Structure 1
C-alpha cells in the first residue's frame, strides 16, 4: 500500500486480503469432466438399448 498525492493505492492481493489459489482450476476441470461423462452416458446408454 502506498500513498500517492492524496489517495491510497493498493494491489489486487492487498485489496482482496487473500491469495488466489490453484484449487479453483482443479474444481473447474473436475466438474467439466464429470459433466461430459454424465451427458455422454445419458446420450449413449439409451442409444445402445434401442432394438
Structure 2
C-alpha cells in the first residue's frame, strides 16, 4: 500500500480482503440442495399426515 497524491493505492490482493476460490461453488451447491430438501419436507410432511 502506498500513498500517491493524497490517495492510497493498493494491489488487487490487498484490496480483495478475502480468499478467492476454495470450493465456494460446492458450498453453494450443497446449500441449495439442503434448502430444497428441507423446504420439500416442510411442504410434504403435513400433507402426508392429513387424514
TM-score range with shorter-chain normalisation?
0.5 to 0.7
Report the CA distance shift for 1:17/1:47 in structure 2 as closer, same or farther (over 3 A).
closer
Cα RMSD for the two superposed structures: 2.6
Gaps of 5+ in 1: 1-6
TM-score by length of 2: 0.62
TM-score by length of 1: 0.62
Per-residue deviation, residues 5-42 of structure 1 (Å, max 9, x unmatched): xx8xx875575387621511000000000000000000
Partner of 1:25: 25
Q: Which runs of 4+ in 1 moved over 4 A?
A: 10-15
Gaps of 5+ in 2: 5-9
Number of residue pairs aligned between Structure 1 and Structure 2: 48
